[in-house]
Amino acid sequence: MAPLSWDLQLLNVCAALLLLLAFAMLSQRRIVTLVDLLALQGAVLCVATALVAWRTGKSHLYLSALLTLGLKVLFLPWLLRRLIRRLDVYWDTEPMANIGGTMLLGLLIVIFAFGLAQPISALANTSTKSTIGIAVAVTLLAFLTMITRKKAMSQIVGFLSMENGLFFAAMSATYGMPMVVELGVALDVLVAMLVLGVFFFQIRERFESLDLHHFESLKEEK
């Protein structure tokens, strides 16, 4: 095994951390901690982006690292924490049965993701191609987080984490999307969160809770 240069090693550590954080989110019961984990994930992503930017000398990646820092590390977690305080769900926990089973499912998903990323990694000519699999895995794990949750807030955290995974995938496979697209995606995420902020209050006003098990009325009549 030829020793990698230090920045690639550090990037690998970042990728591994992202994967670890995805699992941590999958198993985390407390909603506030979920938001913290999300912020941490954003921070790792930011470091990884900056590393790639430094390595490749692509200035637009510095910009997107800054964007990540501003949006995903600072603003969105701040917004979510504020929402949590305002909605008074600070002590909410997710009633999750069988975390172990979910974890095992998560491991299977990671293996699946690695398989999925194999052909892409094989074709990639970026020096970060080995992390594509991890990015796909993070995305799918976030998806799993979303579908195993019952609380609106944790579903949203899962959604944002999924976006983080996709962002990382774009970076590993192609050193990021063109700037205009990245800006657009960031704008969409931002607007989505603002819309959700409004939306949460509407749900709360109606149901006095953010539990989605109230949402059972619109089933197809059998």
Site for another protein in 127-156 (CB under 8 A): 130-131, 133-134, 136, 139, 143, 146, 152, 155
- Residue 33 CB, shortest distance to another protein, in Å, is 15
Q: Are the CB atoms for 143 and 158 separated by under 8 Å?
A: yes
Q: Is 96 helix (H, G, I), strand (E, B) or coil?
A: coil
- Residue 79 CB, shortest distance to another protein, in Å, is 16
**Would you say 21 or 84 has its CB closer to another protein?**
21
**Would you say 39 or 44 has its CB closer to another protein?**
44
From 192, 197, 209, 211, residue interacting with another protein (rule: CB under 8 A): 192
Q: How far is the C-alpha of 116 from the C-alpha of 177, rounded, in Å?
A: 20
DSSP class of residue 73 equals I
Beta bridge partners of 211: 151
Q: How far is the C-alpha of 18 from the C-alpha of 8, rounded, in Å?
A: 15
- Residue 84 CB, shortest distance to another protein, in Å, is 18
- Residue 82 CB, shortest distance to another protein, in Å, is 20
Site for another protein in 43-102 (CB under 8 A): 99-100
Site for another protein in 150-189 (CB under 8 A): 152, 155, 159, 162-163, 166, 169-170, 173-175, 177-181, 184-185, 187-188
Q: For another protein, which stretch binds (CB under 8 A), given 9-17, 30-38, 42-50, 68-76?
A: 9-17
Q: Is 217 helix (H, G, I), strand (E, B) or coil?
A: coil
Q: How many helices (H) and strands (E) does the chain have?
A: 8, 0
CB atoms within 10 A of CB 102: 18
From 36, 62, 120, 211, residue interacting with another protein (rule: CB under 8 A): 120
Using CB under 8 A as the binding rule, whether residue 35 contacts another protein is answered as no
DSSP class of residue 75 equals I
- Residue 123 CB, shortest distance to another protein, in Å, is 6
Q: Is 28 helix (H, G, I), strand (E, B) or coil?
A: coil
Q: Torsion angle, CA of 86/91/96/101, rounded to 10 degrees?
A: 100
- Residue 56 CB, shortest distance to another protein, in Å, is 10
Assign residue 137 a region: left if phi > 0, alpha if psi is -120 to 50, beta otherwise?
A: alpha
Structure tokens at 109: 């998903």
**Would you say 46 or 144 has its CB closer to another protein?**
144
From 66, 74, 96, 116, residue interacting with another protein (rule: CB under 8 A): 116
